[in-house]
Amino acid sequence: MDSRPTPTSLIAILWIPWSVLRAAVRFISRLRSNIPGMIGFIGLVAYFIGTFIMPRFIEFDSEPNLDEIVGPIGSRIQLAVHRENAHLVTFEDLAGKTVGVVDQTGGPDLIAPYAHILTIEKYRWTSRRAGPGLEASLIDLANREIDALLIFSKTVTELITNQEDPELRALFNENIVISNRALGPPHLLGTDTQGRDIATHVVHGGRVLILTALIGGVISTSVALFLGSIAALTGGVLDSALTALTNLILAIPRFPLLVVMAGVIRFNNTLYLGVLIGLLGWPALMRAIRSQVLSLRERDFVEAARSLGLSTNHIMFREILPNMISYVMINFIFSITFAMYEQIGLVVLGLAPINDYTWGVMLYFGRSRGTLYNPDGASMALSPVLAIAFFQVCLVLFARALEEIFDPRLRAAV
């Protein structure tokens, strides 16, 4: 370490981004040998592009679109057509043709606006599930008496795929396909119950969550760093008081506390939730940082700096902090995962603001409207779930790679 005149604290603070940058360069050069870390890193970059840059080019699909619907709200209807008509995507393509609908299914309502361009054939709905009425409609379709049929997706699977009669099965499989743009290429992840594109929701649903988690992580890490180093460097009464406070907060069940706090404060902006999560999340890390600083303080190079008469500021920012910056970075990433965990948990319970259509809100609606429990809603249910899951996994993989690469001997010394 050089012994130039004590830098002002401003310059000292610039040391932090500089060390972070240096660490990042060092890290990426070493990352090549760590495959899980590489996966996590690439994943995080992909998430950044997907949630912060792509929304600028992809518009949020908020228009309910009945043509592209998987099924009207509450029902699960699909369009079955002849094999050669598989390219049909909307009712307009069917102009002049005969479309069969099954009575009492919601199908007639769905098709009513198109009554002037289509010939509609009604089939009787029998109370017996997958009864002859529905089967008759499919047989008509297979025999080309009608051109298309609106039918329950579950019934279709049952009548076509699980058909016990081999003759009928062959007939159906040869002639009928489900033509639904909803699950075709134009909608990468299909559409939701209102015919809106799920992929655009996934792209737009991450930004606020990630920002909130970042705010939570930044606040909890900096509070922990600040209080931890103050406690360790000053010692005495302040140290005991801070340690006692930390132990007290650690004894409170954190998630239930957040649940109650979220009820007390009633946020209208998700980002404030990040602040609250950050303010409750520091104690564990503060304890770790305190013991780190305590151990670093006794190292020879700190002793040397102190005997040179360098200021506490200098010792903290130039001697101690650079030596635990990787540890702090790793824990910063972990605190982001905690913040993510907590805020989405609150959203799923319905205790956080739902004015942004985030992944968490998609889950909340999925749960409250029952689409999570709908066999045809796989894409609706799994898209937000997997988006959250992979983000968290990427963070953890990345943090673990950091841990391995920087080999925190420090922690062993604590």
Partner 1 sequence: MASQSLNAPLETPGFDRIIDALGRALKSYTVRVFVQAILTIWAVATLTFLLVREMPGNPIDVLIEQILTQEGISYQEAYDRVAASFNFDPDASLLDLYFDWLGDLLRFDLGTSITSPGTEVIDEIARFLPWTVFAVGMGLLISFVLGIVLGMTMAYYRDSFLDHSLSFLSSFMTGVPNYIWGLLIIIVLGIQFNLFNVGELRGTYDIRLVPGLNAEFLLSVCKHAALPIATYVIATLGGWMLNMKSSTMGVLNEDYVNVAEARGLKDKRIITSYVGRNASLPLFTQLTIAVGFVLGSGVVIEEIFVYWGIGHYLFQAITVRDYTSMQGVFLILTMAVVFSNLFADLTYGMLDPRVRISGER
- Given the rule CB under 8 A, which residues bind partner 1? 35-36, 40, 247-248, 251-257, 259-261, 263-264, 266, 337, 340-341, 344-345, 348-349, 351, 363, 367, 372-375, 378, 381-382, 385, 388-389, 392-397, 400
Q: C-beta of 335: minimal distance to partner 1 in Å?
A: 14
Cβ–Cβ < 8 Å for 297, 232:
yes
DSSP codes, 263-305: HHH--SSHHHHHHHHHHHS-HHHHHHHHHHHHHHHTSHHHHHH
Q: How many other β-carbons are positioned within 10 Å of the β-carbon of residue 185?
A: 6
Cβ–Cβ < 8 Å for 274, 336:
no
Q: C-beta of 183: minimal distance to partner 1 in Å?
A: 15
Q: What are the strands of the beta sheet with 176-178, ordered from one edge? A: 119-123, 98-102, 148-152, 77-82, 176-178
Q: C-beta of 388: minimal distance to partner 1 in Å?
A: 6
Q: C-beta of 158: minimal distance to partner 1 in Å?
A: 13
Q: C-beta of 371: minimal distance to partner 1 in Å?
A: 10
DSSP codes, 368-384: HTTGGG-GGGHHHHHHH
Angle, alpha carbons 355-357-360 (nearest 5°): 100
First CA to last CA across the chain, in angstroms? 23
Q: C-beta of 261: minimal distance to partner 1 in Å?
A: 7
Whichever of 18 and 373 has its CB closer to partner 1, that residue is 373
Distance CA 389, CA 406 (A): 26
Whichever of 114 and 341 has its CB closer to partner 1, that residue is 341
Whichever of 80 and 388 has its CB closer to partner 1, that residue is 388
Rg over alpha carbons for the chain, rounded to the nearest Å, is 30
Q: C-beta of 222: minimal distance to partner 1 in Å?
A: 23
CA distances from 407 to 24, 79, 295, 342, 410 (A): 15, 58, 17, 29, 8
Q: C-beta of 129: minimal distance to partner 1 in Å?
A: 16
Distance CA 167, CA 78 (A): 23
- Please state the φ and ψ torsions of residue 148, each to the nearest 5 degrees: -155, 160
Whichever of 149 and 156 has its CB closer to partner 1, that residue is 156
Q: C-beta of 26: minimal distance to partner 1 in Å?
A: 22
Whichever of 382 and 410 has its CB closer to partner 1, that residue is 382
Distance CA 173, CA 27 (A): 55
Whichever of 149 and 395 has its CB closer to partner 1, that residue is 395
Q: C-beta of 264: minimal distance to partner 1 in Å?
A: 5
CA-CA-CA-CA torsion sign (339, 343, 344, 349): positive
Whichever of 302 and 351 has its CB closer to partner 1, that residue is 351
**Nearest-10 crossing angle of helices 321-349, 9-31:** 80
HSE (side-chain half, CA atoms, 13 Å) at 18: 10
Whichever of 136 and 386 has its CB closer to partner 1, that residue is 386
Whichever of 305 and 372 has its CB closer to partner 1, that residue is 372
Helix residue ranges, H only, 49-131: 107-111
Whichever of 228 and 283 has its CB closer to partner 1, that residue is 283
